[in-house]
Amino acid sequence: MDSVVIPIYTTIVSVPYYHYVLEGLLVLVVVFLWNRRNRRPRRPQLTEEEKEELIRKWQPEPLVPDTPQDHPALNPKYVDGKMGKYVSIEGKDYLNLATSNFLGLVGDERIEEVAKKTIYKYGVGSCGPRGFYGTVDVHLDLEKQLAEFMGCEEAVLYSYGFATIASAIPAYAKRGDIIYADKGVNFAIQKGLQASRSQIEWFEHNDMEDFERLLKIQAEKDLKNPKKAKVTRRFMVVEGLYLNSGDLCPLPTLMELKWKYKVRIFIDESLSFGVVGSRGRGVTEHFGVDVTDVDMIMASLENAVASTGGFCCGRSYVVSHQRLSGLGYCFSASLPPLLTTAASEALRIMDEEPERFDHLRSNGRRMLEGLRSAIADTLFYVQGDALSPVFHIKYRSDDVEEAEKKLDALVDNAFEKGLALTRARYLVGEEAFPIVPSIRLTVNSQLTSEEVDKSLKTIAEVVRSLTKN
C-alpha cells in the first residue's frame, strides 16, 4: 500500500504550486467556454418586462378564415330518403349517377330486414372498442365471412372506411422504412403514408418502368449498406381500381416486382371489392393472382357492400398485427352490430347473385362507350377503365377555372334534366399532387339499358349546348 501512496504523494508535493494555479485556471477557462457555448442564447436574454411585453403584444390569427358563402360544401343538396337508384331532392326524383352503390344493395329488403332484427337483439351501438366489450359475435362472424370470401386466412374489421386505409398502412410501415406509392392514390392512402413517417417514393401513375427505376436505385443503395438493407422494410401501396382516375392497376407486373425486389404489396380495393372479378373478389381474381401472395388487401365496406366500415385481409401473420397496432382498430369503438350484419348479408347476396357483377360490368361498358361517342368532338373527355364502374369526365383546358366552370355547368344542367351527377371533390392544397377537375360518374347494376341510354342522351344534349356557348 505504502509503495503506491508514497511515490504519488512525493510527486504531488514536488510539483511547484504555480503549476496547480495555472492548471486550475485552465480548467476554469474550459468550463467557462463550455458553458458559454452551450447556453449561448439565440437572441439576447430577455428581461421579465420584455417577456411580458412580448406576451401582451402577441396577436393570434383568427381560429379559422372566413368561408365564402357560395362554397359548394355550404350549399349541398339534401337528399330525402334512400340513396338508391333514384334519389329524392325537394320532392323530385333524380337518376343517381353520383354515389358508389355499385351493386344496388342500398334499399335491399333482405339486408334491411337483417339489420332491423339486429337492432332488436343487439341495440344500435356497441358502446366500446374491440378490446373492452366492444367485440360482438357478429363482428367475429363477419371477419370470418370476409376471410372466406376473399380466400384469406384472416380479416380485421374496422369501423370506418377512411380510417381502415389510413390506419392499416402506419401499423406496419414506420420511420426508416420505404414505401413505394403510385402518384394516383386516393387521399386516405396519402394520409396513411404521412402517418407512417416512412420514406415515400412516388412513381408515376401506373408506370411500371418508373417504378422499377426507383427500385433499381434503391437496390444499388442497398449494395453499399447491406446491413441496413436487411432491416429496411419495403412496401408498395397501390389501388385495385383508382378512385381518382378509374384506372385498373397492372397487378401481374406489380407481383413480379414484388418478388424480384422483395417489396411487400398492399392493395386498396375499396373500389374494386365487389366490382372487379367474375365473382366480385377484386383485382386478384380478375388477374388470377394467388391472393395469399398479396401481403394485405384493404377495402372499405362503404361502396359496393353498402354498409359502413372497412376491413383488411391477408395472411394471419401480417393481418393480426393490426389488432394491437392499428390505431383506428384499437382506439375506436367497433362497428355497430346492425351495420355488421348488413355487410354480412350483402356478402351473402353477392355470392348468391353473381349476375349483379355482370349487370354492373355491362352497364359500365355501355356507359363508357356511350359517353365517348356522346362527347366526342368536344373539349370534354372521359377517363376510366372499361371494367370500372367509375368514370371521370374532364374538360380539356389549360385554365383550371374555366374547366371547373364548364364541369359545374354540366352538373347543374344535367340536374335540371333529372340526372344527379357530382364533381369529384378534393381538398385543394391538401392533396399530394395537383388534381385535374372532373365529374365522377358512377354506374350501378340496377340501371336498365334504357336508363343508361337516356342519361347518355341528356349528357350529350347538355354537352352540346355547353360547347355551343
| 40-59 binders of another protein (CB under 8 A) | 42-43, 46, 48, 51, 54-55, 58-59
Stretch that binds another protein, among 271-279, 316-324, 357-365, 448-456 (CB under 8 A): 316-324
Residue in this structure with the C-alpha cell 380495393, named with its chain if needed: 269
| Nearest distance, CB of residue 114 and another protein, angstroms | 10
Q: How far apart are CA 376 and CA 464, in angstroms?
A: 10
Cell of 339: 351495420
**Nearer Cβ to another protein (32/259):** 259
Helical pair 355-374 and 337-352, crossing angle rounded to 10 deg:
80
Stretch that binds another protein, among 5-13, 274-282, 321-329, 446-454 (CB under 8 A): 321-329
Subset of residues 341 to 360 that bind another protein, contact rule: CB under 8 A: 342
| Nearest distance, CB of residue 238 and another protein, angstroms | 18
Cα dihedral across residues 96, 98, 100, 103: positive or negative: positive
Q: How far apart are CA 9 and CA 20, in angstroms?
A: 15
**Residue from 293, 369, 399, 412 in contact with another protein (CB under 8 A):** 293
**Nearer Cβ to another protein (66/209):** 66
**Residue from 18, 37, 38, 66 in contact with another protein (CB under 8 A):** 66
**Nearer Cβ to another protein (24/128):** 128
| Nearest distance, CB of residue 379 and another protein, angstroms | 23
**Residue from 277, 280, 282, 328 in contact with another protein (CB under 8 A):** 328
| Nearest distance, CB of residue 283 and another protein, angstroms | 19
Subset of residues 76 to 95 that bind another protein, contact rule: CB under 8 A: 76-84, 87
**Nearer Cβ to another protein (9/317):** 317
Subset of residues 101 to 130 that bind another protein, contact rule: CB under 8 A: 101, 106-107, 111-112, 115-116, 119-128, 130
| Nearest distance, CB of residue 415 and another protein, angstroms | 10
Strands 310-314 and 419-420, bridge-based pairing? unpaired
Stretch that binds another protein, among 144-152, 337-345, 391-399, 402-410 (CB under 8 A): 337-345
| Cα angle: 128, vertex 129, 134; to 5 degrees | 60
**Residue from 20, 34, 331, 433 in contact with another protein (CB under 8 A):** 331
The three-state DSSP-derived secondary structure of 263-316 is CEEEEECCCCCCCCCCCCCCHHHHHCCCHHHCCEEEEECCCCCCCCCEEEEECH
Subset of residues 406 to 465 that bind another protein, contact rule: CB under 8 A: 420, 422-427, 430, 440
| Nearest distance, CB of residue 26 and another protein, angstroms | 34
**Nearer Cβ to another protein (265/466):** 265
**Nearer Cβ to another protein (51/372):** 51
**Nearer Cβ to another protein (368/441):** 441
Per-residue x/- track, 143-182, another protein (CB under 8 A): ----------x-----xxxxx--x-----x----------
Subset of residues 372 to 391 that bind another protein, contact rule: CB under 8 A: none
Buried (b) or exposed (e) across 359-385, using 16+ Cβ within 10 A?
A: bbbebbebbbebbeebbeeeebebbbb
Subset of residues 249 to 268 that bind another protein, contact rule: CB under 8 A: 259, 262, 264
Q: How far is CA 328 from CA 82, 298, 340, 414, in A?
A: 28, 13, 17, 39
Q: How far is CA 375 from CA 30, 151, 461, in A?
A: 80, 41, 9
When asked if residue 320 is in the footprint of another protein (CB under 8 A), the reply is yes
Q: How far apart are CA 375 and CA 462, in angstroms?
A: 10
Helix (H, G, I), strand (E, B) or coil at 351: helix
Site size toward another protein (CB under 8 A) is: 119
Query: How many Å is the Cα radius of gyration of the chain?
Result: 30
Q: What is the DSSP letter of 73?
A: G
Q: How far apart are CA 36 and CA 15, in angstroms?
A: 32
Q: How far apart are CA 160 and CA 282, in angstroms?
A: 20
Q: How far apart are CA 87 and CA 94, in angstroms?
A: 5
Subset of residues 194 to 213 that bind another protein, contact rule: CB under 8 A: 194-195
Query: Phi, psi (5° rounding) for residue 114?
Result: -60, -40
Buried (b) or exposed (e) across 279-315, using 16+ Cβ within 10 A?
A: ebbbbbbbbebebeebbbbbbbbbbbbbbbbbbbbbb
Stretch that binds another protein, among 16-24, 246-254, 310-318, 382-390 (CB under 8 A): 310-318
**Residue from 35, 225, 278, 316 in contact with another protein (CB under 8 A):** 316
**Residue from 22, 133, 354, 402 in contact with another protein (CB under 8 A):** 133
**Nearer Cβ to another protein (213/262):** 262
**Nearer Cβ to another protein (292/465):** 292
When asked if residue 12 is in the footprint of another protein (CB under 8 A), the reply is no
